[in-house]
Chains A and B, each alone.
Chain A
Amino acid sequence: MATQHSRSAARLMMAPAVVLLLGWMLVPLIMTLYFSFKKYLPLRGGDLGWVGFDNYVRFVTSSAFWPSVLATLAIVGGVLVITVVFGVLLAILLNQPMWGQGIVRILVIAPFFVMPTVSALVWKNMFMDPVNGLFAHLWKFFGAQPVEWLSQASLQSIVMIVSWQWLPFATLILLTAIQSLDSEQLEAAEMDGASPLKRFAYITLPHLSRAITVVVLIQTIFLLAIFAEIFVTTQGSFGTRTLTYLIYQRVLESQNVGLGSAGGVYAIILANIVAIFLMRIVGKNLDA
């Protein structure tokens, strides 16, 4: 509801953002599509002509493809489960009356502010190193054989590092949602004779469902693209090569741009499938 004048002003003011993002989306996308149909090896002859869908077929049939998809799903799924479950528990704990709530909250949020390269390095060396890492000391203290985390339990280790980074985000969103729960609802349930566990299951959890969806979807976007954590820890070895990392290796390490671009198109399609789900939910939020 507005006047013609303000509507045309509005269109004008939206233009810069729209034009910029349109360019940012279309130009590289079209180039990636273009390369994906070419045999293109920058260091070994450059543009070697059109090859149709060869790159797409080769990318999918390569022995590295399915393991990379599985690794991606394992990491995304593992981190989501851990962050949501512990996020809910932590949010409930932090919502209780206590002394120094503000400080505890800062302590819990802190990992989110640590850049991925730093957290990966710190975990890799100071905690997971099989000789000098803190975990190794701990294991030895209890008389156990230290674990070579990043080679013997590589996926689990990465999941742990990434979960540590994302747990604050999940906790914070869920805490905000819990705080918005009308306490009268809980009191009504209590009057109706619901035990604390039942109150959690029938009142709190359903109230959190939207927040949990938000956590899952936002994290999925970021987790599908995790790069630095793998880059500085395992470089994709020991079964930690995700789809993102596989494409990265094809493009930058083996300098096969055509093949990498085809992989990129797959990644874009995968991301879009997730995006459709996300947009549905966010779209509903917009209406609310």
Chain B
Amino acid sequence: MGRITLDKVSKRFGDVEVIPPLDLTIEDGEFTVFVGPSGCGKSTLLRLIAGLEDTTSGQIRIDSQDATHVPPAKRGLAMVFQSYALYPHMSVRKNIAFPMKMAGVPEDEQKRRIEAAANALNLTDYLDRRPGQLSGGQRQRVAIGRAIVREPSAFLFDEPLSNLDAALRVGMRLEISELHERLKTTMIYVTHDQVEAMTMADKIVVLQAGVIEQVGSPLELYHEPRNKFVAGFIGSPKMNFIEGAEAGKHGAHTIGIRPEHIAVSADEGPWSGAVSVSEHLGSDTFFHVHDTGLAETITVRADGEVGFRHGDRIRLTPRAELIHKFDENGLRIA
């Protein structure tokens, strides 16, 4: 079981309120991602749940038990740290065994669980090595192994992939998702990378300055961002925002249109501008368009290879039904 409820939880460091009181429920078995720019309080929130920080006020319940003042080890949660936090002086086997040793799990049971975890994570050949002799991805797996053997009611991940190179990151992302499919255990995952959030989450919690901006499934956030912040944060490349007369035409203070929702052509379309930079990825082409009179730059994505170059004048057609409208406070207009 692993249903986690935060009830008016807040956190201050001295005079600074990092997290104003907030409510949040994470259902059992859910893969929840906390996402937001650095300094938004997402890691602090995770550490509050872990018990590594005291809550200033409010209540944390794990499976309806009040856990607010329970020490970290007694909460039944396991955490995978950004730096993996492996014990460098212990072999992989000992690293994985450590939490069980602390909990007094019998030897044969320890052995069984280590073998099961090693099997599942492809670590069997490395059990007697030290963390220093492993690659980044392998270390990551050991950290996960150390979490699995505790059979926790929920896993906490604190930016676990940020120290890996791009290729490994994609692989590990898949492995963690598969692990979740298999274990069906609650997972809370902190990242600043919206791609990780979109690909892995059942539920995304977008945070800014300690405040929850929106909670929802990845596609909800993509299609119906509650405000400009969420709209700009989710999706890559970023949504284009246009103010002024053009927005007024739609009865909004600001309108947003995603790069993939604008069509490009040489001579047709309501907006026009000059290509300043074109990025050719093969599968898609991105144009950064200046001199539109709408915003400083409009980013546009076109399918496949489109041959406009620097300085070419092009015309743009936004898909009207996919234009997002925001009022002067940045809130979505339905």
Residue interface bits A215-227, CB-to-B below 8 A is 1, else 0: 0000000000000
Q: How many residues of B contact A (CB 8 A)?
A: 6
Q: Collect the chain B residues with CB atoms within 8 Å of residue A2's CB.
A: 52-53
A5 with B53: CB separation less than 8 A: no
B53 with A1: CB separation less than 8 A: yes
Say if the beta carbon of A4 comes within 8 Å of chain B.
Answer: yes
B54 with A1: CB separation less than 8 A: no
Residue ID in chain A nearest B72 by CB atoms: A3
Chain B nearest Cβ from A254, distance in angstroms: 56
A3 with B13: CB separation less than 8 A: no
Residue interface bits B10-40, CB-to-A below 8 A is 1, else 0: 0001000000000000000000000000000
List B174-227 residues whose CB lies under 8 Å from chain A: none
> In the bound complex, how far is the Cα of B51 from the Cα of A202, in angstroms?
51
List A1-31 residues whose CB lies under 8 Å from chain B: 1-5
A5 with B13: CB separation less than 8 A: no
> In the bound complex, how far is the Cα of B51 from the Cα of A5, in angstroms?
11
Q: How many residues of A contact B (CB 8 A)?
A: 5
Residue ID in chain B nearest A3 by CB atoms: B54
Count CB-based A-B contacts (< 8 Å): 10
List B54-90 residues whose CB lies under 8 Å from chain A: 54, 71
Classify the interface of chain B: helix, strand, loop or mixed. loop
B13 with A1: CB separation less than 8 A: yes
Q: Collect the chain A residues with CB atoms within 8 Å of residue B54's CB.
A: 3-4
Residue ID in chain A nearest B44 by CB atoms: A1
> In the bound complex, how far is the Cα of B51 from the Cα of A227, in angstroms?
54
Q: Collect the chain A residues with CB atoms within 8 Å of residue B52's CB.
A: 2-3
Q: Collect the chain A residues with CB atoms within 8 Å of residue B51's CB.
A: 3
Chain B nearest Cβ from A7, distance in angstroms: 9
Q: Collect the chain B residues with CB atoms within 8 Å of residue A3's CB.
A: 51-54
Chain B nearest Cβ from A6, distance in angstroms: 9
Residue ID in chain A nearest B47 by CB atoms: A1
> In the bound complex, how far is the Cα of B52 from the Cα of A5, in angstroms?
10
Chain B nearest Cβ from A9, distance in angstroms: 12
> In the bound complex, how far is the Cα of B44 from the Cα of A2, in angstroms?
11
Which residue, of A2, A3, A4, has the highest number of chain B Cβ atoms within 10 A? A3
Q: Collect the chain A residues with CB atoms within 8 Å of residue B71's CB.
A: 5
> In the bound complex, how far is the Cα of B73 from the Cα of A3, in angstroms?
13
> In the bound complex, how far is the Cα of B52 from the Cα of A280, in angstroms?
33
> In the bound complex, how far is the Cα of B13 from the Cα of A1, in angstroms?
8
Residue interface bits B255-299, CB-to-A below 8 A is 1, else 0: 000000000000000000000000000000000000000000000
Residue interface bits A262-284, CB-to-B below 8 A is 1, else 0: 00000000000000000000000
> In the bound complex, how far is the Cα of B52 from the Cα of A2, in angstroms?
6
> In the bound complex, how far is the Cα of B13 from the Cα of A54, in angstroms?
54
Q: Collect the chain B residues with CB atoms within 8 Å of residue A5's CB.
A: 71
Q: Collect the chain B residues with CB atoms within 8 Å of residue A1's CB.
A: 13, 53
> In the bound complex, how far is the Cα of B54 from the Cα of A1, in angstroms?
9
Chain B nearest Cβ from A2, distance in angstroms: 7
Chain A nearest Cβ from B210, distance in angstroms: 15
Chain B nearest Cβ from A258, distance in angstroms: 49
Residue ID in chain A nearest B51 by CB atoms: A3
Q: Collect the chain A residues with CB atoms within 8 Å of residue B53's CB.
A: 1-3
Chain A nearest Cβ from B77, distance in angstroms: 15
Binding site for B on A (CB under 8 A): 1-5
Q: List 10 A-B contacts (CB under 8 A).
A: A1-B13, A1-B53, A2-B52, A2-B53, A3-B51, A3-B52, A3-B53, A3-B54, A4-B54, A5-B71
Binding site for A on B (CB under 8 A): 13, 51-54, 71
Q: Add 7 more A-B contacts to A3-B51, A3-B53, A4-B54 (CB < 8 A).
A: A1-B13, A1-B53, A2-B52, A2-B53, A3-B52, A3-B54, A5-B71
Which 5 residue pairs across A and B have the least CB separation, nearest first? A3-B54, A4-B54, A3-B53, A1-B53, A5-B71
